[in-house]
Amino acid sequence: MLTNAPAGPGSALQDPERQRAASTAVALVMSLLALLAAAAIGWVALTTVRGQQLDDLAAHVLSAGSIAVADDLSRLLELVSVSSAALALAVLMGLALVRGRLRLAVGAAVLMAGANVTTQVLKHLLLTRPDLGYGTLNSLPSGHTTVVFSLVLAAVLVSPRPVRPLVVLAGSAVGTLTGLATLVAGWHRTSDVVAALLVTLAWAAAVTAVLAATTTRTGSDHGGGFVPAVLGALLAAGAAVLWGVGPGAGLWQPVAVAMVLAAIAGATALSTGAFAWLTSRTLD
């Protein structure tokens, strides 16, 4: 009578090891894709005539609608500071520590520091905007967007699985509203916002790759994030329109406004949803 051969000494660890390897690979691929997308957007927006032209047009199609709305948006952006970001990060790290997740607390701090330092180095030291007829002042990536979105993804990283969809929904809404506010205030172009989202996602995915390489999961892979991310972005874009954000003068601008809204909301929803999916797949 045949019997099953006894398991080898390494077989008990085989599945966890494969799981860690697969999760790490997925996170690294996401990080690389985000970096490549950010580089492509930067190249087109900064170094090509057509890219500068479209970016310049998109930067002027959104209007606050009234002085009161413009003031409200300015005050919203003024809330984004080093001190407020540090306080928010401290809260997120504290929540992770309360859950007994020191590695997540450290990961949130690395994510925040890495994304924001990278944005500042790129904008002020590495990237230039050649004179192609549309101004030479480089503002890519957006620092305000990076600060806010790195906090959003840090919140997704440290949040427990049951409440993560709510965090994703709120985070996607906040990220979308921040990006739109920087455009309406005239501080940034569309490419600046999208590049900031991608730089942040690249760092978040890289941090997750490190965490996944040393984590044995016990949860399910089915922890979607795209639906709440899309819903949050749509709610924020709709709220901005109801608030008074809309087209300026010119008959062509309503279509352009819709395209800019779709670009900012879509990029935010995709980035937030992708990271929520990644954390659900790789971390408990």
> DSSP letter string over 211-247?
HHHT----S-S----HHHHHHHHHHHHHHHHHHT-EE
Distance CA 147, CA 203 (A): 13
pTM of the model: 0.92
One-character DSSP codes across 96-150: HHHTT-HHHHHHHHHHHHHHHHHHHHIIIII-----SSS------S-HHHHHHHH
pLDDT bin (cut points 50, 70, 90) of residue 14 is low
Distance CA 175, CA 181 (A): 10
Burial (CB count <10 Å: 0-12, 13-18, 19+), residue 224: middle
Residue 185 DSSP one-character state: T
Q: 């440290």: which residue's tokens?
A: 158
pLDDT recorded at residue 249: 57
pLDDT in tens, 31-87: 999 999 999 999 999 999 999 999 998 888 888 877 777 788 888 888 899 899 999
pLDDT in tens, 209-257: 999 998 766 555 555 689 999 999 999 999 998 988 877 655 457 788 8
pLDDT in tens, 84-127: 999 999 999 999 999 999 999 999 999 999 999 999 999 999 99
